[in-house]
Structures are given as structure tokens and as C-alpha cells.
Amino acid sequence: MGESGRIQDGTATSKGARRKRQTVKWLTKEELRRFFRAIPRENIRDRLLFNLMYLHGLRRSEAARLTIKDVQDGTIHVWRLKGGESKAYRMFPSSRRLLEQYLAIRGDDPCPYLFRGLRHKCTPLSGRAIAALMGCYAAAAGLPPDRRNSHRLRHSIGRHMQEEGFDISDVADHLGHADLKSTKVYFQISDRRREKNHQRMRRSHEIVRDT
């Protein structure tokens, strides 16, 4: 499996006679760059929204419920849903720059939600609105229809971390998985990772190569 943006998770049933296959799709790094380039540079809110969703693997509802207090002092507190583990993480430099710009534009707004919805009502940006924005920018970037779901961003960071060589426990922690079984889907070995492992083994002093 190369960087095709698609893997299948096969899980055996209790009898072992049938296998349930789940297709997980993500954006390749080039597709992701095209997606972010499709967001107008002056649209700071949307750039920040999708920056956080990708880098911290946020679901739509997790991004929507973020408050100003959740992004303080270079840290983002992610309140995970679906039984996930809620934790605080350091923000990335790009996120901090966008946040600073966004808060300056937002001004003295008493609404606690980071991404507010209706102009005259203090409500969070809806999941439906986030999905529509994702679809709009993904289409503008020329991404295939099956890559225009905002959940693809969460899958993308999981897969990209795996390809970079992060341990399964590290990826699980970053995505807030309470069970490593949820993380295993990102760890099917690709040709690229296999080649990285080969090069790493060649450089290693712990492996006896001259036999």
C-alpha cells in the first residue's frame, strides 16, 4: 500500500468464518496542501478551523464545541466525544499564528465559543456548516468526492503520523483513542513505511548486518 489514501481494516468475527472490512480514507500530503491552498488566505477563521481539525484530529462536533478558554497559553484542550480521552496538547506554531490573527479580527466578542455560529446568537458553528465548508474547499481543490468529508482530516493525521514513524501509542494519545484497537487501522504497513524501516535497519548499530 503506497500513499493512495485508502486502506481496509479486516476484523475477524468470533467464528473466524467471515471478515468485516472497513475502508478508511485519508488525504495524501499533496491533496492536503491543495485543500489548504483552496481556502482564501483572508479567511482566517476557516484556515484556523481546518488547521486545528487536521493537526489535532478533531471531529466536527469537537471543533464546534471549542471555547476561547480551551485555547490559552499555547495549549488546546480537546474535549473528545465517542468515549475518547479528553486531553490538553501543545498547539503548533501555525495554529498559534492563525489563532492570534483570528482573535484580533474577532474583537471583543463575549460569546465563549471559538467558532461561533449565527451572527446575532451565541451558538457554536454547526457540524452541518463545517461539513459544507469542507465540501466547498475540497471541491475547489479538485479532490475526489470520497475525500470531501471532514472526517478525512482526522484519518489523515493518524495515517501521516504512522508514516512518519510514530508509535501506535503516540497516535492513540494524539487522537484521544481509549483503545488501541481504534488506532490499529492506521498501522497497516505501506510500501513507503516498509522502505523507511529498511533504511532504518541499515543505519542501526543494534542489528548485525555483516553475516
Q: Of residues 33, 82, 192, 198, which has the active-site annotation?
A: 82
Q: Of residues 54, 102, 137, 186, which has the active-site annotation?
A: 186
Does residue 177 carry a catalytic annotation? yes
Does residue 120 carry a catalytic annotation? no
Are 112 and 69 in contact by the 8 Å Cβ rule? The answer is yes
Q: Of residues 25, 29, 97, 151, which has the active-site annotation?
A: 151
Does residue 29 carry a catalytic annotation? no
Are 173 and 64 in contact by the 8 Å Cβ rule? The answer is no
Q: Of residues 45, 47, 59, 155, which has the active-site annotation?
A: 59
For residues 62 and 64, give the distance between their C-alpha atoms in angstroms, rounded to a whole number: 5
Q: Of residues 154, 155, 160, 174, which has the active-site annotation?
A: 154
Q: Give 102's contacts (C-beta < 8 A, 6+ positions apart).
A: 44, 45, 48
Does residue 205 carry a catalytic annotation? no
C-alpha grid cell for residue 153? 482530516
Does residue 198 carry a catalytic annotation? no
For residues 53 and 93, give the distance between their C-alpha atoms in angstroms, rounded to a whole number: 15
For residues 129 and 40, give the distance between their C-alpha atoms in angstroms, rounded to a whole number: 17
C-alpha grid cell for residue 119? 451572527
Does residue 116 carry a catalytic annotation? no
Smallest CA-to-CA distance from 175 within 67, 95, 81, 68 is with: 81
Q: Give 150's contacts (C-beta < 8 A, 6+ positions apart).
A: 53, 59, 60, 130, 131, 134
Active site residues: 59, 82, 151, 154, 177, 186
